[in-house]
Amino acid sequence: MMLFLCAQDLQQLWIGLLNEETFHVIERKDIFPEGYLNEIDLFLKRNEIRLEDLTGLSIVTGPGSFTASRISLTIANTLHFTHKLPLFVLKNEENLSPIELISKFGVGQKVEEEEYAHAFYNRPPHITSPFGDKPLDATA
């Protein structure tokens, strides 16, 4: 059984279990990124799946919310390295539902064992400087 994660929206996480590129179960959770790890743990427990039972991970790398993408990828990359789980990545440029995405592209492109998955962004980040920042120039 393969774990599927899709966090393109800041307030939603799709979690699923794939059985040979078809969903055994999939759930949409209305949750913010800080709750992802706990929700994944609860999902696996509800479905009586241990991390040792997983044969891999399939994750949507974007585009979408920068924060949601980074957190879901951090979780997936951590499981990939710590549990030696094969990791597969999917871009969802057409904003397909998870079921349509897996049906069209399968579980995704495999990430090499020693590599990690990167987020896919379709626009530059909107990052501002915090108030009160001083220039790094020593003469200022």
The tens digit of pLDDT for each residue in 88-110 reads 999 999 999 999 999 999 999 99
CA 87 to chain CA mean position, Å: 11
Task: Please state which of the ranges 14-23, 69-78, 84-93, 126-135 shows the lowest mean pLDDT.
Answer: 126-135
118: alpha, beta or left? (left if phi > 0; alpha if psi -120 to 50): beta
Q: How do residues 11-21 score in pLDDT, each as one tens digit?
A: 999 999 998 77
**pTM value?**
0.84
- List strands edge to edge, sheet with 2-9: 22-30, 12-19, 2-9, 56-62, 87-91, 109-111
Nearest-angstrom CA–CA distance, 62 and 91: 6
* pLDDT of res. 126: 64
